[in-house]
Amino acid sequence: MIVVALLPDLLLSRLRTALGADSAIVAANSLDEPEGIAAALRRGDVDLIVLDPGDRRLDHRARTLAALLAQYAAIPVVLYTSLTTTGVARAAELLRDGTRQLLIAGVEDQPGATRALAVRMTMDALAQRFLASAEPQLAQLPASVVRGIHTLFASPRRFRSVEDIAIASAITRRHLERVTRRAGFTSCRDVLIAARTLAAFRLLQHERRSLGQIAARLDAHPRVLGRQIRTLLGVGSAFDLAAWSEDQLLDACTHALCRRAAPAHRGASRTRRARSTHSYDDR
């Protein structure tokens, strides 16, 4: 995920440790100067804003900050601050609007908790609904794989192949494919395509982007993305999604991706091993 952060050095260091190498953190030094939050938001796609409302660089900038966050209301905000009168009071004002969450430094900012919060906040509501529908399959997976899949659906453009899901899950690709098929997913490739499809649907519905713009946002080739969506859902064109409801898309993705886990036996195991040797990285 791409994170814009305006934080004191100590909190910025803690954030980098918590989010790790999977996230790109843009450290802003002000609100609206050339290297500030506003400039970073204008330059490109941002998944999350993290700021300390008690930072001295935001002194006397409450109205400007509120207006900027209102302008980019679709981007979630973490108010990461120390337990001080100034920080908490300013956070209380900002928490009234938008998708915002308070994170108290030194109290609830353990690395695992901070990372989980960032993933949860950046994940689209539609992706959350899909993962809830896939809970029977997810419940059978190792915790590291569940975290990897959650990260995929929170920021699909960070994943270019099944191998990237395996890296995020801290296991080998072969083991990833084995456990996901055993849990009831059709394939890891379909998991990746489902995440891209849900993200493409949101961009079609809410931002009216072209297929080329959508593909660029997801870091995929337009023809490859269109083919993947058509194959997964059986639609004639990726733009057919614009006429669907969220419920229709969720039903189609669940039907295409999730199946009831079959009892394990030697023949099936041999089949799974044979299929896992195929290449799924068709960007």
pLDDT in the model for residue 190: 92
Distances (CA, A) of 243 to 195, 216, 252: 19, 22, 14
pTM for the full predicted model: 0.62
pLDDT in the model for residue 206: 61
Note down pLDDT in tens along the chain; length 283 residues.
Answer: 789 999 999 999 999 999 887 678 889 988 888 888 999 888 867 888 999 988 888 888 888 888 888 888 778 899 998 888 888 888 888 887 667 889 998 888 899 889 888 877 877 778 888 999 999 999 999 999 999 999 899 888 888 899 999 999 999 999 999 999 999 999 999 999 999 998 888 777 765 667 788 888 788 888 888 888 888 888 777 677 777 888 888 998 998 888 644 344 444 444 334 343 333 344 4
> Domains (ranges, CATH) in the chain?
2-122 (3.40.50.2300), 125-275 (1.10.10.60)
Answer positive or negative: Cα dihedral of 147, 151, 154, 159.
negative
pLDDT in the model for residue 233: 85
pLDDT in the model for residue 209: 67
